[in-house]
Structure 1
């Protein structure tokens, strides 16, 4: 996939695989020789593949060889159609994400299905919010949409003109992981129509919008669902037909279903609430703490602009809960005691961090996913910053 702004030339290539005329494609970012060699080898480019596969999209896993979700034209089109149905009809899309990620690919697929020409931001030098007003104006009249990740939205909210441009859109799909509450509240206050999405390459992109599955998508909770929480499994029309290189424990082993590594719960309205990945669970003192609910409360603290909760080894507890916090500019530094007292108003004391680190920014990977592994590696021996407090 050539670097933007030339990715729109790939629309014709996508059209060829969606209508079955051309051979399947593996999206690979140009200019990254190591990634190109890794994907070409791992996904067996050039070897025989089923006739009904349109794209093999690599997953964003952090360990081992990358897996490739085999997406059919039917799954990609079903996702695009269901998205337009949920949002209120087809429209013109702004491509503001890399076109080799499933979220960027789907912007192009939706444009093809809508018969509209997408407008593209130049991302070759990063996400420049000053380009948003011009790009939104180029979308013209009618329904207008874009897809962003939380870090992009947070950056746009710092620029009044970019914020106003996003507020003109009929919907801003927000994916790549949960967004900090201050970002969501800031967007709502500015009149930006944010739609929180959950999904992956294996589901043709986002398939649950604001907790509600798209038409044709099924969601269930497995393994412990009797307690209210369980592992999320997804079925339906947007599902990949499997992996190009399935692991020993194949998440597609049950026909028609994809067993994710995420835990979730249904709230009182029946909407899905994603609690986090199974491997993010913190086992502390014989109890389990999921980071996402703690982060949801912590992000409401008036001094917290962004935060991450994770576990590090502890000789007595097995693991101890740790928080890394990005402060609101100009806010006074909270102490660990302040943070624990604040969380105690809403959560059990077990969930409160025993260690606090004040950082300039949180590490992220891919198109904006929080990298808890990097935080764990950085602070598992007690931290390396003067802003770290232990208890």
Structure 2
């Protein structure tokens, strides 16, 4: 059995909300599409399997495009478990694009709670507009709590604005995800009275399913050859039109269906610590250097919360780490800081200071664009 798949532009988040409500209730499946985003190479199908309620297109910051198919059961299971982990249902401020799973998560949780999200106008994120949306948020007895979801760069902009910071401190929880949250940024938020909850997840897991390193609800975790695997009722059906990728990413093990994240991680006392992408490693002078860990260390330095570490080819060393940032950073200082923690091979070879670090609409760094800047030969 199938149902129609309806593509809907995301310039009007309220229309996306209505489309998602219909999809969750059994109507046509929804494919939110950013009007400004490049189309994937293959057109979306007119119909999808009956179980599919939502399709999320993702080109990713490093990988190839895919269409993640999610069922109503997966989306609502993730929403219910998240509400339980946060302390109950509430009203949401939507500050994220609705063609990304994090923004769609806000809408799903609003639908599940019977609340109407207060929407920050799409486009360039503005702290004052966020404060206005927070003022408009209405809650009720059945869902009295106040929530929002941000990426780190948005959190930093809010904390630079006194009124927006005051508004944020009035939320019961502020989910921050999409990428690792720098420790200094999180501390700034805590010092301002903001209840930050760091999240980890993907479109394939109906969004965030690990809060502050702890899987919520019935989510299970396992490390297989250093790769983080996740299981639970929130997993996607797979990838539309790509059975091979579905079979390699969603696997059966020990009687459970697992999602292979592609991330390196550690699990200690039930707490997950994601170290970065397994394939995001350079071999420099014969030594493996995980760029995610280098980036985490760079972001510990004052003013470098949004710095990005990428790779560059080197005739002498093979490949070397390079820091790309919008704020001045002394090369010797960062080399000493990184080298003290990870050794000589991990020390960045260069710091590139740009007027603005390329970003995706989701608030994540555009790593392909960044790498082409740091190493033009990689784009040829």
| TMscore range, shorter length | 0.7 to 0.9
Q: After the TM superposition, list the runs of 4 or more consecutive aligned residues in structure 1 that deviate by more than 6 angstroms.
A: none
Q: Is the 8 Å Cα contact of residues 91 and 117 (structure 2) preserved in structure 1?
A: yes
Residues 1:319 and 2:349 are matched in the alignment: no
Residues 1:24 and 2:29 are matched in the alignment: yes
- Aligned pairs, number: 362
Output one character per residue of 1:66-101: Cα deviation in whole Å (capped at 9) or x when no partner: 211110111000010011001000000111111222
Residues 1:168 and 2:164 are matched in the alignment: no
Counterparts of 2:288 and 2:182, CA distance in 1: 22
Taking the TM superposition and a 5 Å limit, the aligned residue runs for 1:209-228 are 209-223=211-225
Taking the TM superposition and a 5 Å limit, the aligned residue runs for 1:24-63 are 24-29=29-34, 31-32=35-36, 34-35=38-39, 38=40, 41-44=42-45, 46-47=46-47, 49-62=48-61
**Relative to 1, partners in 2 of residues 1:304 and 1:51: Cα closer, same or farther, differing over 3 Å?**
closer
Equivalent residue, structure 2, for 1:100: 99
Please report how far the alpha carbon of residue 27 of structure 1 lies from its aligned counterpart in structure 2 after TM superposition: 1.4
Equivalent residue, structure 1, for 2:236: 240
Q: Is the 8 Å Cα contact of residues 308 and 323 (structure 1) preserved in structure 2?
A: yes
**Relative to 1, partners in 2 of residues 1:247 and 1:281: Cα closer, same or farther, differing over 3 Å?**
farther
**Relative to 1, partners in 2 of residues 1:126 and 1:308: Cα closer, same or farther, differing over 3 Å?**
closer
Equivalent residue, structure 2, for 1:335: 330
**Relative to 1, partners in 2 of residues 1:258 and 1:209: Cα closer, same or farther, differing over 3 Å?**
same
Equivalent residue, structure 2, for 1:286: 286
Deviates more, 1:56-65 or 1:256-265: 56-65
Taking the TM superposition and a 5 Å limit, the aligned residue runs for 1:196-275 are 196-223=198-225, 230-246=226-242, 248-250=244-246, 251-255=248-252, 256-267=257-268, 269-275=269-275
Counterparts of 1:170 and 1:213, CA distance in 2: 19
Q: Is the 8 Å Cα contact of residues 10 and 99 (structure 2) preserved in structure 1?
A: no
Equivalent residue, structure 2, for 1:309: 309
Q: Is the 8 Å Cα contact of residues 62 and 367 (structure 2) preserved in structure 1?
A: no
Q: Is the 8 Å Cα contact of residues 174 and 197 (structure 1) preserved in structure 2?
A: yes
Output one character per residue of 1:319-377: Cα deviation in whole Å (capped at 9) or x when no partner: 112222343xxxxx553222222333333222211222233332222402223332222
**Relative to 1, partners in 2 of residues 1:374 and 1:247: Cα closer, same or farther, differing over 3 Å?**
farther
**Relative to 1, partners in 2 of residues 1:380 and 1:66: Cα closer, same or farther, differing over 3 Å?**
closer
Q: Is the 8 Å Cα contact of residues 60 and 366 (structure 1) preserved in structure 2?
A: no
Counterparts of 1:205 and 1:241, CA distance in 2: 14
Q: Is the 8 Å Cα contact of residues 117 and 137 (structure 2) preserved in structure 1?
A: yes
**Relative to 1, partners in 2 of residues 1:116 and 1:244: Cα closer, same or farther, differing over 3 Å?**
same
What is the RMSD computed on CA atoms of the aligned residues?
A: 2.3
Q: Is the 8 Å Cα contact of residues 180 and 305 (structure 1) preserved in structure 2?
A: yes
**Relative to 1, partners in 2 of residues 1:126 and 1:298: Cα closer, same or farther, differing over 3 Å?**
closer
Equivalent residue, structure 2, for 1:9: 15
Equivalent residue, structure 1, for 2:5: none
Q: Which runs of 5+ in 2 are unaligned?
A: 1-7
Equivalent residue, structure 2, for 1:138: 136
Q: Which runs of 5+ in 1 are unaligned?
A: 224-229, 328-332, 384-391
Equivalent residue, structure 2, for 1:357: 352
Please report how far the alpha carbon of residue 195 of structure 1 lies from its aligned counterpart in structure 2 after TM superposition: 1.0
**Relative to 1, partners in 2 of residues 1:33 and 1:138: Cα closer, same or farther, differing over 3 Å?**
closer
Q: Is the 8 Å Cα contact of residues 177 and 368 (structure 1) preserved in structure 2?
A: no
Please report how far the alpha carbon of residue 248 of structure 1 lies from its aligned counterpart in structure 2 after TM superposition: 3.9
**Relative to 1, partners in 2 of residues 1:33 and 1:371: Cα closer, same or farther, differing over 3 Å?**
closer
Counterparts of 1:98 and 1:171, CA distance in 2: 19
Please report how far the alpha carbon of residue 63 of structure 1 lies from its aligned counterpart in structure 2 after TM superposition: 6.7
